[in-house]
Chain A
Amino acid sequence: MSEAPLFQVENLHAGIEGEEILKGVDLTINRGEIHALMGPNGSGKSTLAYIVAGHPNYEVFEGRVLYKGENVLELGADERAQLGMFLAFQYPTTIPGVSMANFLRLAVNSVKGEDDGEGGKKRIAPREFRKMLREKMQMLNIDESFATRYLNEGFSGGEKKRAEILQMAMLEPEFCIMDETDSGLDIDALRTVSEGVNKLYNDNMAMLLITHYQRLLNHIKPQFVHVMLEGQIVQSGGPELAEELEAKGYDWLKETASV
C-alpha cells in the first residue's frame, strides 16, 4: 500500500456555538502540492483553518481530519504543531511583554527540541538558535530590531504577516495553511513574503493558501484551486479556475451550486 496522503479532510461538518458552518468538506493534499482555497467572505475558509489547527472553541459534528493518515481531531493545538502542522493566521494575536525572540525560542524548543527521556525537552543550543533566527530574518527582509519587539504589539498589518512567515520559517513545518497572508501587504511586501515562502517550500511539504484574490497566486503558484461557498467546496480545478474567478466573480458559481 502506498503512503497515506499528507493531509486529508473527510466529510467535515463543524461550526461554533452549535451552529454548523462547514457542511461536509472533503479535501486531499499530497506532499509536493500547493492548493489554493478561494471563496467570498464568510464562506468558512478561516473556520476550516481554525479547526485544522485545533482551536478549542470550534466543534466538529462529523468527519475527520487526517495528518499522515492519523486523525488529529483529538489532539491539542500544540500537539498538532509538534507533528509539523502550521497555520499562518489571518488575524495574529498580540501578546504584550513577550518578545519575538523569547517566543520563537520557546516555540522552536517545543517543536524541535528532542525528548530528554524525563518528560522534558532538550533545548536547541542558544547560539544555534540565534544564528538560525538571524538567517531567517535576513531571508524575509525583516529588520533585526524585530526580535526584541513584543509579539505583534504595535505591528502594522504587513509586519504581522511577515512575523507569521518568520514563525513558519523557524518551525519548518511540513504542512502549512496560510490564511489571507496577502491581505494588508503592499506590492513590495507581497513580493518579499512570497519569495520567502517559495524558498521555504520544498517537495516534501504541502501548502494550502487561503485567499480571495488572484494576486498572491501570481507569486506562489498552486497546482490545485478549490472554491468554497457556504461551507462547502463547490468547485475544484487547476490554476485556470482562479483566473476564471478573477474574471467572473463568484456569482456564476453560486448559481451552479444552488442546484
Chain B
Amino acid sequence: MVSKPDIDLGDYKYGFSDPEDYHFKSRKGLDEEMVTQISDMKGEPEWMKEFRLKSLEYFQKRPTPTWGGDLSDLDYNDIYYYVRAAESTGKTWDDVPEYIKNTFEKLGIPEAEQKFLAGVGAQYESEVVYHSLREDLENQGVIFLDMDAALKEHPEIVKQYMGTIIPPNDNKFAALNSAVWSGGSFVYVPKGVKVEIPLQAYFRINAENMGQFERTLIIVEEDAYVHYVEGCTAPTYTTNSLHSAVVEIIVKEGGRCRYTTIQNWSKNTYNLVTKRAAAYKNATMEWVDGNLGSKLTMKYPAVWLMEPGARGEVLSVAFATDDMHQDAGAKMVHVAPNTSSQIISKSISKGTGRSTYRGLVKVHKGASNVKANVVCDALLLDESSRTDTYPYMEIEEEQVSIGHEATVSKVAEEQLFYLQSRGVSEADAMSMIVSGFIEPVAKELPLEYAVELNRLIQLEMEGSVG
C-alpha cells in the first residue's frame, strides 16, 4: 500500500512522504468497534475505554460546527483513525526505524535536540516513536513522556487531570479527540523546578487520509516553569488529512508555562485543535502560536484565569496563502478579580488566502479590577486576499479596563517604493515589510524559532510578486 504524494510540491518543503511499512493500520472510518480496538491494542485500563466510548457518543451526537471555516469537504468516513508505524517508542534514535529516523533528520529534529532542547518527543502518525529527557531534569522529578506511556506509568495523575480542562463534550472535535486520542505529550514539572531550556514535541503525519489525534497534558506545579514547543508538518496529498489535537494545561500558584507552536501543515490538512489552560493564583500562561499552512485551521488557545493575580497572554501569527483559511484567535476568561490578559494577533493573507481573527474576552460577574487588552492587525498582500475580525466581548462586571484595537492594512506603495529606492528588489521589500509586521511576535520566540518562523514566511512569500 504505497500512497501517491502530489507530484507538484510547490513551495512547501516538507511535502515529501515515506512509503508505508506499518506495524498496524486501521480500516477507514469510525465506530464503537474501532474505538474499542484502539483501546485494546493499547492495553488501556477499563476507565479509559469507557471515557473513549462516551466521547464517541458525544462526537456522533454533535453536529459539525458551521460558525467558522468551511468543513463541508471533510468526510469522517474517509479517514484512518489509528496507524502505528513502529512497534515501540525509542529511547535513542537508533531504536527508531531507519526511514522514520531519516524523516525526522530531514526535519532537523535530532540536530535541534543536541543544540538547544532539554527533551524531545517525536510522533509519527498515531504513536510517539522517540522520546528523551535530559537526565538532570529527570533527577529533579520532571516527567516528560508520551501520553500513552504516562497512562501506563502515572495512571493516577492522568486520571486526575485529563478532561478536566477540556471535557470530552466541550465541542465536536474535543469529543473526537477524546474518543480516538493517541500519542501527544505528558509534562509534569514539580514545585519550584524551572526548566529553562525548551522541551519540544514534533508531530508528523505521513499517510494519505490520515487522522492524527494527539493529546497533551501539562501540569506546572507551584512556582515551577516550563517552555514547551510543538512543531508539525505533513506530506502534500490531493486528499484530506485531519489533525485534531487537545491540549490541556494547568498552571498552579506562581507557576508559569509558555507553549509555543510553529505549525506548518501541508495544504490538504484540516487542523482543528482545542487548546486551553487554567491559571491559578499569580500564575502566568502564555500561548505563542505560529499558524502556517493547512487547508483550514480553527484554533483559539484559551486561558481561564481562575484566581487573583493570574495572567494570560496569546501572541499569534497566521499566514494564509492560496486556498487556505486560517480561522484563529484566542479566548481569555476572567473568572477571578485582579486578573489580566493580553491578546496580540497578526495575520497575513496572500493570493486567495483568508485569515479570520475570532476571539473572546469574557469577564465573570464579580471579577473586578480585570485588565484585558486585544490587538489584532491584519495585513493583506493583494486584491484577492481576505480578512475578517470577530472580537467578541462578554463583560459582566463594571470595574474593568478593556482595550481593543484592530487594524487592516495593505502593504503601502510608499513603503515598497522607499525600500526599492535603496536598491532592494520588490520581492525582498515585500518580505521585509512582512517580517517587520510579525516582529512583535517573532521577538518573543527563542532565536532558533524566530529564525525558523521568518524562514517559513520567506518561503511562503516566494513568488508573491508578479
Contact = CB atoms under 8 A, between A and B. Distances in A.
Given A57-B413, A93-B415, A95-B432, A81 B421 contact: yes
| Residue from B412, B417, B428 with most neighbouring chain A CB atoms (10 Å) | B417
B438 interface: yes
B414 interface: yes
Nearest to A78: B420
B422 to A, nearest CB: 4
A103 to B, nearest CB: 7
B426 A93 contact: no
A110 B428 contact: yes
A95 B433 contact: yes
A96 B417 contact: no
A108 to B, nearest CB: 8
Contacts of A93: 412, 414-415, 417-418
A210 to B, nearest CB: 15
B413 A110 contact: no
A78 B426 contact: yes
Contacts of A106: 424, 428, 432
A250 interface: no
Contacts of A207: none
B437 A97 contact: yes
Interface residues of A, number: 30
A15 to B, nearest CB: 17
Contacts of B423: 78, 81-82, 107, 110-111, 171
Nearest to A111: B423
B162 interface: no
B424 A98 contact: no
Interface stretch (A27-35, A48-56, A225-233): A48-56
Interface string B231-257: 000000000000000000000000000
A78 B424 contact: yes
Given A93-B414, A95-B433, A110 B425 contact: yes
A77 interface: yes
A87 B420 CA distance: 11
A97 B418 contact: no
B419 A103 contact: yes
Contacts of A102: 432
A56 B426 CA distance: 12
Nearest first, the 7 closest Cβ-Cβ pairs linking A and B are A97-B436, A97-B439, A81-B423, A98-B436, A111-B423, A107-B422, A110-B423
Interface of A: 53-57, 76-78, 80-82, 86-87, 89, 92-93, 95-98, 102-103, 106-107, 110-111, 150-151, 167, 171
Given A81-B421, A98-B432, A150-B439, 9 more contacts: A78-B422, A78-B424, A78-B425, A86-B421, A89-B418, A95-B415, A102-B432, A103-B419, A107-B422
